[in-house]
Amino acid sequence: MVLTRRETLIGGLALLGSAAIESPALAAASDFAGTAVDNGVTYRTTNFARIDKKWRRQVVKYFSSEPIGTVVVDTRHHFLYLIMENKTAIRYGVGVGKDGFKWYGRATIDAKTLWPKWTPPAEMRKRHPELPESVEGGSSKNPLGPRAMYLHNGGVDTGYRFHGTIVPSSIGKDASSGCIRMFNEDAIDLYQRCPIGTAVQVLPHIADQAPPGDQASQAVVE
Residues known to be catalytic = 163, 179
**Secondary structure of residue 205 in the 3-state scheme:** coil
**Residue 21, C-beta contacts closer than 8 angstroms, at least 6 positions apart:** 118, 119, 120, 121, 124, 143, 177, 179
Task: Show the beta-strand stretches assigned E in 58-182.
Answer: 58-62, 71-74, 79-83, 88-97, 105-114, 147-153, 156-163, 174-176, 180-182
CB 78 within 8 A of CB 96: yes
- Long-range CB pairs of 74-80 (<8 Å, 24+ gap) are 74/203, 74/205, 74/206, 74/220, 75/102, 75/104, 75/202, 75/203, 75/204, 75/205, 76/204, 76/205, 77/205, 77/206, 78/171, 78/172, 78/173, 79/206, 79/220, 80/162, 80/180, 80/182, 80/190
H-type alpha helices, 28-175: 122-127
